[in-house]
Amino acid sequence: MKILITGAGGFLGQFLARKFLEDGSHQLVLTDVMDCPVPKGSKHPDNAKVIKGDIFEEVDNLVTKDLDAVYIFHGIMSSGSEANFDLGMKVNVDATRLLLEKLRHTTPGIRVIYASSQAVYGRPFPEVLTEDVFPTPEGSYGAEKMICEYLVNDYTRRGYINGISTRFPTISVRPGKPSQAASSFISGIIREPLAGKECVVPVKDRSFPSWVCSPRTLINNLVHALTLPSDALPSHKRSVNMPGLLATIQDMLDALAKVGGEDKLQHVKEEDDQELGKILHSWAYKFDNKLALDLGFKPDTSFEQAVREYVDWVKEQEQLDA
């Protein structure tokens, strides 16, 4: 298959690209506005082509008639979208609409997997959230994601694309540097202390819950999304909440201590950040993933396992760099 991945310079794009490059039958087009290397350790690196640039400028080069599938990962994260409304709308909505229009006219019916978010939900929350709960986002990021979900629905209903919107839990443990996401600390609470660096947790309440998923599990689920038959969902309802698990700040600290050692806890600083707190407390944290599970998507086993997977990934990267 020939697959386009936008936002491919980010960690998810890199992880997904490496997963597809395990199979020599796949051809990838990787694009981002920032540096977007072919992932280290890829089995078939020559099967990937990198196009660095803005979607507004490069869309004609990105979308060709021989494309089989597209993963839409580009975007401005939650706190970044809240801080800069115009930039968030341009990148998260306008660029996505432009891409969908180009796909509609060049490769009608193409499979599109859109990266959405649990941020589409807003308070008041029911006891348990499902896809039947009406989304009422409380931030610009969630609103922008919901706008694009509606586009995916209607473009699919009309036969322009064969789309599915995958609503991500918070991903932990993310490699790399802290991001603009309000949830960045949910990876930082593990990643930074393991590296001997300080992480500031912007919530002092250790019972604060988050709905999380490991990168490995999400990547496997994104690959699975490519295999779903077009009639697996109604043509006008294409959104699925990806499986996650509930983890409190205390659960994360316990996993850090168990995997990395008690001494790593000294690198965690807890303080209340009222601005970030407004965003964090507007996010749902308890989901019923029956639809996703019925469609064949898989959940994580534990947060501790996600931490162990991250440690294994770090060791692998050190070996590749040696």
Q: Would you name the residues annotated as active-site residues?
A: 141
- For residues 22 and 43, the answer to whether their CB atoms sit within 8 Å is yes
Longest dimension (CA), the chain: 57
Q: Are strands 245-248 and 170-171 parallel, antiparallel or unpaired?
A: unpaired
- For residues 74 and 53, the answer to whether their CB atoms sit within 8 Å is no
